[in-house]
């Protein structure tokens, strides 16, 4: 069984579509800004962290409608239309790009179309679309990421594709069987009822269930 095809979802409308062909590769990019200050007598300047830059996702999508003898722009429009400003948000929509283990939440910043095959009437039937997404992180999430621990030493986690409460417990507690404190802290009665992109609290152990007063460790 092959890898399922990548999907792009518009969070504002709930609409999503599957790409025609999976990309051959993708690139995730992240960098930081540092200020260099020269000090007399030192062999190199001192570096001071200023701020982090956007994380970006780059990929190339391939579209081919030659066999259908139809205009490939009807397909590429599904992507390029995501650059348009949403009238309610007054900004382009926030998107979710999901492919295999990749989950990227952001906005479409750039789309470059290259048409490479044409029908007899001149309409394009094959295209490569180079796209760049910029990660979207709201102010509340950025604040939590700056200091992931709360005063009660809890942490917050964004659920990614194929994760379960057991795998999250294994990541934070080094014991996959200790998933019950996470479920209790988030009011989760069915451990299978979690969704990609959902934010959950990972409490410190031992954890006291606020509903029952039971110590769960």
Spell out the per-residue pLDDT of the chain, length 217, in tens.
Answer: 567 899 999 998 999 999 999 999 999 999 988 877 777 777 787 777 777 788 999 999 999 999 999 999 999 999 999 999 887 778 899 999 999 889 999 999 999 999 999 999 999 999 999 999 999 877 555 555 555 444 456 788 999 888 999 999 988 888 888 898 899 889 898 888 899 889 998 988 876 666 666 666 5
What is the distance between the alpha carbons of residues 184 and 69, in angstroms, rounded to a whole number? 56
pTM of the model: 0.62
If we measure between CA atoms, which residue out of 105, 40, 112, 41 comes closest to residue 76? 112
What is the distance between the alpha carbons of residues 201 and 150, in angstroms, rounded to a whole number? 10
- The pLDDT score that the predictor gives to residue 134 is 95
| Cis ω for the linkage preceding 108 (within 30 of 0) | no
DSSP state letter for 167: H
Q: What are phi and psi of 98, to 5 degrees?
A: -125, 125
**Domains in the chain with CATH codes:** 7-136 (2.40.30), 140-216 (3.10.350.10)
What is the distance between the alpha carbons of residues 54 and 135, in angstroms, rounded to a whole number? 6
What is the distance between the alpha carbons of residues 169 and 176, in angstroms, rounded to a whole number? 5
Contact assessment for residue 128 and residue 116, using Cβ atoms and an 8 Å cutoff: yes
Instruction: Identify the H or E element spanning 51.
Output: strand 46-52
């Amino acid at each position: 069984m092959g890898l399922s095809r990548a999907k792009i979802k518009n969070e504002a409308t709930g609409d999503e579509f599957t790409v025609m062909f999976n990309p051959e590769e993708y690139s995730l990019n992240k960098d930081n800004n540092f200020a260099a200050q020269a000090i007399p007598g030192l062999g190199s300047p001192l570096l001071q962290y200023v701020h982090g830059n956007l994380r970006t996702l780059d990929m190339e999508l391939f579209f081919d409608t030659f066999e259908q003898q139809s205009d490939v722009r009807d397909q590429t429009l599904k992507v390029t239309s995501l650059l348009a400003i949403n009238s309610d948000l007054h900004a382009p929509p926030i998107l979710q790009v999901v492919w295999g283990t990749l989950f990227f939440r952001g906005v479409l910043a750039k789309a470059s179309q290259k048409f490479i095959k044409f029908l007899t009437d001149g309409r394009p039937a094959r295209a490569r679309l180079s796209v760049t997404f910029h990660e979207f992180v709201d102010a509340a999430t950025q604040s939590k990421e700056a200091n992931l621990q709360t005063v009660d030493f809890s942490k917050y986690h964004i659920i990614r594709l194929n994760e379960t409460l057991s795998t999250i417990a294994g990541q934070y507690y080094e014991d996959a069987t200790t998933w019950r404190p996470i479920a209790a802290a988030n009011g989760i009665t069915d451990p299978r009822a979690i969704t990609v992109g959902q934010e959950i609290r990972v409490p410190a152990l031992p954890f006291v269930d606020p509903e029952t007063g039971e110590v769960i460790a």
